[in-house]
Structure 1
Amino acid sequence: MQYLWATLGLICVGLAMIGVVLPLLPTVPFLLLAAFFFARSSSRLHNWLVTHRTFGPLILDWQRSGAIRPGAKKAATLSVVAVFGLSVLLTLPSHVLIIQAVVLSAVMIFIWTRPNG
């Protein structure tokens, strides 16, 4: 089971790295999942992730107080706007746009009501 957790953690780190480059793929949720998986599989990998110069503070903010840094909130908002804007430009069916608007609005409410890290 330990290898499964470690593998899932590494996959999440890989997806997070892709998310650094692709604005439509979130980074922080994958890092939080990776920290979760590594905590159950490898203290070395978990320690590496939470002490990482760039990503560690984001993870620790969330673990300590459920906080999200303002820059991450802004980046998430821009991504959501880009995704919804692309959907509108592609003239997706109205029922898809309505579902997307409701879900993305709920995500934004969740993100913006978290404390600042």
Structure 2
Amino acid sequence: MSEPSPPPRGWSRHLYLAAGWILTAIGVVGVILPLMPGTIFLIGAAWCFSRSSPRFEAWLLAHPTLGPQVVRWRRTGTIARRVKYIACGSMALSFVLVTQTSAPPIALWTTAICLLGSAWYVASRPEPKDGE
């Protein structure tokens, strides 16, 4: 097994750190708002922190509200069925809202392709076994 790559240095480390905090903020909003999935943003934040700040990564993983879903994702790569329904439903609702704007057709097609790919990925993840 190869050694993990060292964290980036200089400006890229700062970009990862900034992205981690932005994703954490969006994830917190997702925890508060029932129709917005927050876990995916927190998973992204943990990844960014793993590249920039082990201290903030440890803080996020140990957080009693924000951490458990991220830890479970890292350990098992599973998504609960209820969460899959919420995520895919939110994506469908988002697309309906986008169609109500005056977005050009290329934006609608791009949005549809991105959301379908994201929904496929979420739906294809395994579900946790009992006790996970």
Counterpart of 1:33 in structure 2 is: 44
Q: 1:102 maps to what in 2? A: 113
Task: List gaps (5 residues or longer) in structure 1.
Answer: none
Structure 2 portions without partners, runs of 5+: 1-8
Q: 1:54 aligns with which of 29, 42, 65?
A: 65
| 1:67 paired residue number | 78
Correspondent of 1:78 among 89, 94, 117: 89
Q: Distance in 2 between matches of 1:44 and 1:67?
A: 25
Q: Which protein has the larger Cα radius of gyration, Structure 1 or Structure 2? A: 2
Tell me the matched-pair count. 117
TM-score by structure 1 length?
A: 0.75
Question: Which structure has greater helix proportion?
Answer: 1
- Does the 8 Å contact 2:35/2:86 carry over to 1? no
TM-score by length of 2: 0.68
Q: Which amino acid aligns with 1:49?
A: L
Q: Which amino acid aligns with 2:65?
A: T
CA separation of 1:97/1:63 partners in 2, compared to 1, >3 Å: closer, same or farther? Answer: same
Q: Which amino acid counterpart does residue 43 of structure 2 have in structure 1?
A: L
Residues 34-61 of structure 1 show CA distances to partners (whole Å, capped at 9, x for unaligned) of 1112223333322221122222221122
> Is the 1:24–1:82 contact (alpha carbons within 8 Å) kept by the matching residues of 2?
no
How far did 1:65 drift?
Answer: 2.5
- Structure 1's 95 and 55: CA in aligned 2 closer, same or farther, altered over 3 A? same
Which range moves more in the overlay, 20-29 or 107-116? 20-29
Percent of aligned positions that are identical: 32
User: What root-mean-square deviation, in Å, do the aligned CA atoms of Structure 1 and Structure 2 show?
Assistant: 2.7
Q: Tell me the residue number matched to 1:20.
A: 31
Q: Which moved more, 1:33-42 or 1:73-82?
A: 33-42
1:13–1:95 distance in 2 versus 1, CA, 3 Å: closer
